[in-house]
Amino acid sequence: MATPANIIRVPKPSRSAYNPDRLLSGNTLVQAQVKHFEEADKQLPPELQTGVDINSIATEGQAAAYIRKVTEAIHKGGGRTGKVQSAQ
């Protein structure tokens, strides 16, 4: 149970933290997330794959839409995207 001694307060992000029209060119974190989701997308059964070419993703909004599509497809597929790899 959370007590006042172990609660960590997280400030609300500013309104400018997410801008759907902002270009991805300078955002390496979101670029890496898109590549990660592309790998998950490729592991889905063909009927669940999005067919999105990630090279066409240019903005944060497009990246968010792609990540949402892949996440929904993973859930439809039962939560697994192919072979499960053990941690080494």
> Rounded distance, CA 59 to CA 86, Å?
34
Mean pLDDT per segment of 10 residues, for the chain of length 88 residues? Answer: 79 90 94 97 95 97 98 85 52
The residue extents of the domains of the chain are 22-76
Q: CA-CA distance, 45 to 28, in Å (whole number)?
A: 28
**Cβ-contact 73, 44 below 8 angstroms:** yes
Tokens 């959370």 appear where? 2
DSSP 20: T
> What is residue 50's predicted lDDT score, i.e. its pLDDT?
97
Instruction: Tell me what pLDDT residue 85 has.
Output: 52
Identify which of 70, 88, 32, 87 has the alpha carbon closest to the alpha carbon of residue 79: 70
pLDDT of residue 44: 94
Per-residue confidence (pLDDT) for residue 22, from 0 to 100: 94
pTM of the complete model: 0.75
